[in-house]
Structure 1
């Protein structure tokens, strides 16, 4: 038999251990089981349990426990109108019964009698933020046992810790569900946008084929190429399973290769030289203007750099210091006129995309070709 100081010390130690455990664990069943084990140990009872109130508000389920026969914990249910647990929930007060043989306030459940329980004490595990109570925390003893005010204060403190743990885990679960729902909706939206962009590309290409005027046909296909760059971006996001980042190297390599197919006859006479570093991650907000800039450069090179001859267009993407990436675009064509035009739509758009990304656009050009360089900040930098 413990002395009173030893008894109080055991209770304080149990609370300290449980408080640490309840803050770290994400498993409610284990938290409830550990609470039962520690209170039974600290109060010197043979049994303890947590009885949870089901959503119907009338059924109680033994959610966790220590010392009970198989088939009780997790399975057994009772009605709220019977037993000390129901009385505690209805009154919102602790219910103490030092000798169940003398009890007249409630009927003792059969499974409790079968376990040889003679005394019990239970306190309510309150709900947070106006929610209904979670249930009760109860200790049961196989011998008559008096539970003093200190014992009840100990149980209430445990019940409050349990209420906080239940509230925290429920809030976390709600946030996870909300995040999952938002991600699912975002993926669905992303998928629909990708499909809609694909339809737009097909319509623009069909309309371009039906036009007789070369200028009008070229204008529509120019728009189609820009839409295709955005469609490919959404396609990469959808396939990667990410909604807020993608591998820039993979995206630009695939985009560059696809651009040649928009220009009839270009694939045979113009080669594409790609040298991209994988693992350089950017956000969609960064990838979109970069993709459009690549589209404009390659399109301008195909239209103006080689005439009717052959040549090469290159794209190099590499890591740069300070969490940045360096993008180089080049061709080995005839170079820009001297002085280089600053009024062309493609060049103006590339300059605009550079400003959007916070990057200067550096052009060089001579008889050996045209080169462009940009440095961008990577995601998270």
Structure 2
């Protein structure tokens, strides 16, 4: 970064806490006048430009664009080609030209000015007062920065850009310059102060947005880390259940432990998708159901055809829904076919505000006296009814022609 004058001024840290003092100003002794222009149209135009900038500042989030637009409109309002925003750089203790119009191309983002009290911008920065200097070449209060001399600047207004909240350093200074010998007056300074006030609000809003985004990213990281750890912990439980299953003497106990391991694996898969999801707390049902069916196919040794629409569903619905699919597919594998040659179809699609899920097979079909509401219904169907109750879902079971069974679920997503 280039410096427009000598090295950084030696300034005490406690001098960096100015307060904006309303219409206080430091002006040159030369009287101001509007004799060379039509005063009313001139002031009305300034008010119009200020209103335009207010809308821009509210609608735009890019602070660079806001700063640049402010300099353009300030230059128009004061009928001069030169304006700039000087942003305070705490490490260098300099004022960097971060936006501007009228200056040489290498100025923006490269040239910096001193922040000491002997420069107009530095004085405005430290004191919070508006500084008007209409004859820089004759100025005895301040030195004229090299940047202004190189561009033939004869007069300038400097206004502090403050930030809201206690303990914040000011953002910097808004400055308008002119190479002609006209006059800036207090009304011009008030116009510039209006822009500086809006800039301060926009800058503070950007700072708040950045802090909020940082907090959200941290929360997302914590959520993903928690889901990842839960998934790993559940995987350890699954491993223990499988070990116990292999050592159990009873086939009934072995099957119960295998079923429990399968259910826990389903929950672990939801948490695996949670920490990898682009939307915290939600799972893409197409990806999740597809992976679940692939793992069930490996475990059950049946061909499982799985087709789901891409829908983001909350985790509190994904877990019972995954368990439902697991139970329905497992039941079909146990009861539909006498060998391993059959196929199970699983599909899901949005239907209004619901997720419509179908699990179908071409197996032996349902017993003639099947009634899932009877007390003697299998444990699997009791689990299914319990999960449906959690989801406020509906189920329909029917036999296919000429053979097979179709189970349809409708689960509200809102």
TM-score by length of 2: 0.80
SS of corresponding position for 2:394: coil
C-alpha distance after superposition, 1:21-76 (max 9, x if no partner): 22222222222122112212221234111111123483221111111223322112
Give the Cα–Cα distance (whole angstroms) in 1 for the partners of residues 368 and 344 of structure 2: 18
Give 1:308 deviation, angstroms: 6.3
Give the Cα–Cα distance (whole angstroms) in 1 for the partners of residues 132 and 48 of structure 2: 23
Please give the residue correspondences for 1:110-189 in structure 2 after superposition, counting only pairs within 5 Å: 110-130=146-166, 131-189=168-226
Residue 342 (str. 1) matches residue 375 (str. 2): yes
Residue equivalent to 2:346: 315
TM-score by length of 1: 0.87
Give the Cα–Cα distance (whole angstroms) in 1 for the partners of residues 237 and 39 of structure 2: 81
C-alpha distance after superposition, 1:239-279 (max 9, x if no partner): 5534333332443243234224334xxx2xx543x353423
Indicate conservation of the 8 Å contact 2:394/2:411, yes or no.
Answer: no
Indicate conservation of the 8 Å contact 2:132/2:185, yes or no.
Answer: no
Give 1:328 deviation, angstroms: 2.4
Indicate conservation of the 8 Å contact 2:223/2:275, yes or no.
Answer: no
Larger mean CA deviation between 213-222 and 29-38 belongs to: 213-222
Indicate conservation of the 8 Å contact 1:328/1:373, yes or no.
Answer: yes
Give the alignment's Cα RMSD to 1 decimal.
2.7
Indicate conservation of the 8 Å contact 1:311/1:333, yes or no.
Answer: no
Indicate conservation of the 8 Å contact 2:224/2:276, yes or no.
Answer: no
Please give the residue correspondences for 1:22-33 in structure 2 after superposition, counting only pairs within 5 Å: 22-33=57-68
Residue 259 (str. 1) matches residue 322 (str. 2): no
Give the Cα–Cα distance (whole angstroms) in 1 for the partners of residues 252 and 92 of structure 2: 74
SS of corresponding position for 1:51: strand
Residue equivalent to 1:9: 44
Structure 2: gaps (5+ residues): 1-35
Residue 78 (str. 1) matches residue 113 (str. 2): yes
Of residues 366, 369, 372 in structure 1, which corresponds to 2:407? 372
Give the Cα–Cα distance (whole angstroms) in 1 for the partners of residues 322 and 237 of structure 2: 18
Give the Cα–Cα distance (whole angstroms) in 2 for the partners of residues 198 and 146 of structure 1: 78
C-alpha distance after superposition, 1:321-362 (max 9, x if no partner): x23222222442353583645354322221111111111233
Residue 197 (str. 1) matches residue 230 (str. 2): no
Indicate conservation of the 8 Å contact 1:293/1:350, yes or no.
Answer: yes
Could you say if the C-alpha distance between residues 250 and 65 of structure 1 is closer, same or farther in structure 2, counting changes exceeding 3 Å?
closer
Give the Cα–Cα distance (whole angstroms) in 2 for the partners of residues 314 and 45 of structure 1: 74
Give the Cα–Cα distance (whole angstroms) in 1 for the partners of residues 339 and 155 of structure 2: 99
Residue 66 (str. 1) matches residue 97 (str. 2): no
SS of corresponding position for 2:104: coil
Residue equivalent to 2:27: none
Of residues 63, 70, 94 in structure 2, which corresponds to 1:35? 70
Larger mean CA deviation between 301-310 and 168-177 belongs to: 301-310
Give the Cα–Cα distance (whole angstroms) in 2 for the partners of residues 355 and 294 of structure 1: 15
C-alpha distance after superposition, 1:134-172 (max 9, x if no partner): 111111122344322211111111111111221222222
Indicate conservation of the 8 Å contact 1:233/1:288, yes or no.
Answer: yes
C-alpha distance after superposition, 1:74-119 (max 9, x if no partner): 1122332141111112111111111123323332222222222221
Residue equivalent to 1:103: 139
Structure 1: gaps (5+ residues): none
Larger RCO: 1 or 2 (CA < 8 Å, sep 6+): 2
Residue 218 (str. 1) matches residue 270 (str. 2): no
Give the Cα–Cα distance (whole angstroms) in 2 for the partners of residues 197 and 275 of structure 1: 25
Give the Cα–Cα distance (whole angstroms) in 2 for the partners of residues 73 and 275 of structure 1: 58
Give the Cα–Cα distance (whole angstroms) in 2 for the partners of residues 40 and 327 of structure 1: 64
Please give the residue correspondences for 1:290-301 in structure 2 after superposition, counting only pairs within 5 Å: 290-301=321-332
Indicate conservation of the 8 Å contact 1:89/1:133, yes or no.
Answer: yes
